[in-house]
Structures are given as C-alpha cells and as structure tokens.
Amino acid sequence: MLGWTPESIKQWVGWMQFLDRWGYITACLSFLLVGMLVFVYSWVAYVQTVQTDFLPATITLLNDLLFVIILLELFRTVLGFLQSDRIRLQPFLHVGIIASVRRILTA
C-alpha cells in the first residue's frame, strides 16, 4: 500500500481534521465579517437614498437586513457545530423562512 503505515495514516487523518476545523472557523468568521459589512453598507446606502426614494430605499434596507440575519444564523450554526460537533436543523428553518420573506419583499 505504497508504504503507508497505520501511524502515517493517523497523522494524515489528524492533519485533515485540523484543516477541516480551520475551514469551519474561517467560514464562520467570513459569515460574521460579511454580515457586518453588509449591515454598514445597507445603512449608508439607506441614508443616502431615503430622502429621494423613501419606499424603495426602505424595502431595500429591509431586504439587506434580512440577508444579514441569514448570515448571522449561518454564523451561529457553524459556531454551534464548532462547539458541539453537531449540526442543528432549527437554524436552517429560520434561514428558509427569512429567505422566503426576502423573496416576497423583492417580488
């Protein structure tokens, strides 16, 4: 088997688990960072456009804030997985409901 020993296989598996964990950590931080950036951008865009187009600006702000909530739910889901090594399904229901509301708002 190409010189593979049980010890070397265990080392590779350990290394892959380490990289897997760091992949989740970076994804989790990315959800949080993107959520914060979208939040700030949404409010800046709202303040700039609310005087001329109140209703479209408000609907766009609500849509963007719901997107931020989706990102935060994904952040909390990944964070929960990192803490317990179990994925909960309830946040995905929240994401589905929020995504449906966003779809209704933009229709």
91 confidence band (pLDDT: 50, 70, 90): confident
Nearest CA to 90 out of 75, 101, 77 is that of 77
pLDDT at 28: 94
86: left (phi over 0), alpha (psi -120 to 50) or beta: beta
Spatial distance between the Cα atoms of 47 and 45, rounded to a whole number of angstroms = 6
Model confidence over 16-67: pLDDT tens digits? 999 999 999 999 999 999 999 999 999 999 999 999 999 999 999 999 999 9
Instruction: State the burial class of residue 77 (Cβ atoms within 10 Å of its Cβ: 0-12, 13-18, 19+).
Output: buried
**CB neighbours (10 Å) of residue 68?**
19
Question: For residue 28, which of 66, 72, 70, 69 has the smallest C-alpha distance?
Answer: 72
Q: Where are the domains of the chain?
A: 7-106
- CA dihedral (43, 44, 47, 53) in degrees, to 10, reads -90
This prediction has a pTM of: 0.82
